[in-house]
Amino acid sequence: MGLLKENIAPIQQSDILYDSGFQTKSPLMKDIYQKVQNIARHEKHLVLIGEIGVGKRSLADAIHRYSSRSNGPFHSFYCINTNEEEFKDAFWEQLRVENEHVLLRYDLLEKTSNGILYLNKFSELTTSLMLNIIDSYIHGCNQLFRYNLSTSPRLIISISQDTYQHFMKTEAWDKLLTELNPISIMVPPLRERREDIPAFIKLFIEEARYSEPSWSDLSISDEAVQECISHRWPGNVRQLKNAIVQGALLSQGGLIQCQHLPFSMNWQLPYQDD
């Protein structure tokens, strides 16, 4: 008999990942949840460090939700695959004439005033661009918010685990610590919190049912759950979600079995000859 057949109202992913009501069994994640709720109430900048797909963006969303800035904007800036002109428009000061007065404008800082600015994949930039962003942030805040610094954007900076060791040796890391003094949170990979994999599977099954009405009977076998628990998940939570979506498709919204999981997890072909 397949698991997760009961009917449950759909749950938002960020809520189940980073809400105090999520009954995590992982000591690591219990510690993360506690830190998030405590740190969110303060105005310190944050650095989130973790592998691709561990949920750094969801964690940033939760920090915004728990913070005193929850009614302010949350703006995510994707640092890679952005050309130089887009960087200039976002971070560099712009001279503009308004009502016959010449004014300095900082587009991204002004959009995120009283809110949170999330710099996604920051550590994958060149050192010069990282320094440029830090300098522009500091200079722009001094220009725009010098009379009320509390309205300047709070930074949450996403650092990839793969680039973290290199980033720590750069001038940008030194400047970040010296000028902004952020708090760092290490987000553990999924393979270090396997206890929570069944809860994630349950969430993704619910999301799949909600997104596709014909999948109302979607469930997963005990064997497939165990297969998921034993897998190393180099792509973490994001990869697990993709695996469940693939399982839903190949099982045609029925019972997800081991042969419906991605080939990297199971040698058996998903289709058998009659």
Q: How far is CA 260 from the centre of its chain?
A: 27
Structural Rg of the chain based on CA atoms = 22
Amino acid at 92: W
pLDDT per position as a tens digit, 198-251: 999 998 999 999 999 999 999 999 999 999 999 999 999 999 999 999 999 999
pLDDT per position as a tens digit, 163-199: 999 999 999 999 999 999 999 999 999 999 999 999 9
Determine whether domain 191-260 maps to CATH 3.40.50.720: no
Q: Give the residue, 13 or 78, on which the prediction is more confident.
A: 78
Alpha-carbon dihedral sign for residues 88, 90, 93, 95: positive
Q: Where are the domains of the chain?
A: 27-187, 191-260
Q: Which CATH code, of 3.40.50.2000, 3.40.50.1480, 3.40.50.300, 3.30.910.20, is assigned to 27-187?
A: 3.40.50.300
pLDDT (average), residues 15-31: 64
CB 24 within 8 A of CB 203: no
Which residues is 160 bridged to in the sheet? 50
The long-range contacts involving 97-105, CB below 8 angstroms and separated by at least 24 positions, are 104/143, 104/144
Would you call 14 exposed, middle or buried from its count of C-beta atoms within 10 A (0-12, 13-18, 19+)? middle
Determine the number of helices (DSSP H) and then strands (DSSP E) in the chain.
11, 9
pLDDT per position as a tens digit, 261-270: 987 676 555 5
pLDDT (average), residues 148-163: 92
CB 257 within 8 A of CB 266: no
pTM: 0.81
